[in-house]
Amino acid sequence: MLQAHSFLWHYLWLAPNVLLLALAFLIYRNGLRKIFPAFFAFAILNSLGQFALYIADVAPSITAESFWRVDWASLLIEGPLKFAVVAEIFARVFGSYDSLARLGRLLIRGVGIALALTAALAAAYAPKDSLFGIVSGAHLLEQTIYLIASGLLLFIFVFSAYFGLRPARPVFGIALGLAISSCIHLAIWAVAANAGLPPERRVILDFAGMASTHLSVLIWFYYLLVPQKVPTKSSVPLPENNLDVWNRELERLVHQ
């Protein structure tokens, strides 16, 4: 069952990308394309890249080296797109609040730089494979992309939770799906790039990665297309207390 080119393997590679392409179409039809342009581009290009990679894998005429070249090309497109989606999430969560936007931008730049340095260090200390440099290089690039992406997404989650902010449902869904996928892929590529597993064991990592992508796509479907339950009360009841005392004391406090 958990073997390369088994039915499950084909399903897990193709189904999430077919669904992602369908999601892009539905996003276009619902008018969400203008609200989430980066995610819309990511949904299309990521699924097309994976289709190209799948064809390169199953077509007997394509050599192993050509497969890895396609993988590199796909990664070089997907990587920046993932960061564009993260930037879009950040802008949607914090951009509309003047009091937080500047501090948030400052902090996320700092976190981004720290993560890039950490990823560079991790790549520098990873074992090098001189025989199959194109393969180990692709693994390291995956590890680098997912290390930075998951770190940035963790920052967005923690920062918004600290301030009690509740992002809109579609933004939260995009962030959650991407974060789950990034964290699981980070673990997978860290093992693939550093643990020196034999090829037959690496297949399990492939299955885990593809399953996490499938889960993320389902999360995106749920949060982007299933409407939120309308709360029975639009506003919360106001607490009872003595405002006069508070105001008097506050004025004295501020104007001292």
Partner 1 sequence: MTLAIVLVIAAALALIFILGITVSRSLQVSETAGLAAKIQPIDVAAFRNLVDPAEDDYLRRRLPASEFRLVRRQRLRAMAAYVQTAGRNAAVLVRMGQSSLTAGDADTAQAARQLVDNALLLRRNAAFALLRIYVALAWPNSGLAATPILQGYERLNGSAMLLGRLQNPAAPVRISAML
- Give least dist CB 195 to partner 1, A: 4
Select 5 or 248, whichever has its Cβ closest to partner 1: 248
Separation of first and last alpha carbons in the chain = 75
CB atoms within 10 A of CB 190: 18
Whether residue 51 contacts residue 17, with contact meaning beta carbons closer than 8 Å, is answered with yes
- Give least dist CB 87 to partner 1, A: 18
- Give least dist CB 34 to partner 1, A: 20
Select 60 or 237, whichever has its Cβ closest to partner 1: 237
Select 56 or 190, whichever has its Cβ closest to partner 1: 190
Give the span between the Cα atoms of 37 and 26, in whole angstroms. 13
- Which tokens is 247 given? 């105001």
Give the span between the Cα atoms of 147 and 140, in whole angstroms. 10
Residue type (1 letter), 243: L
Whether residue 107 contacts residue 155, with contact meaning beta carbons closer than 8 Å, is answered with yes
Give the span between the Cα atoms of 52 and 74, in whole angstroms. 8
Select 60 or 199, whichever has its Cβ closest to partner 1: 199
Select 20 or 186, whichever has its Cβ closest to partner 1: 186
Give the span between the Cα atoms of 158 and 6, in whole angstroms. 40
- Give least dist CB 44 to partner 1, A: 26
Sign of CA dihedral 55, 58, 60, 62: positive
Select 77 or 154, whichever has its Cβ closest to partner 1: 154
- Give least dist CB 66 to partner 1, A: 28
Select 70 or 179, whichever has its Cβ closest to partner 1: 179
- Give least dist CB 224 to partner 1, A: 16
Give the span between the Cα atoms of 67 and 55, in whole angstroms. 9
Q: Enumerate binding residues for partner 1 (CB under 8 A).
A: 97-100, 103, 122, 125-126, 143, 147, 150-151, 153-154, 157-158, 161-166, 172, 176, 179-180, 183-184, 186-187, 190-191, 193-196, 231, 233-247, 249-250, 252-254, 256
- Give least dist CB 256 to partner 1, A: 7
- Which tokens is 119 given? 């990823």
Give the span between the Cα atoms of 219 and 146, in whole angstroms. 19
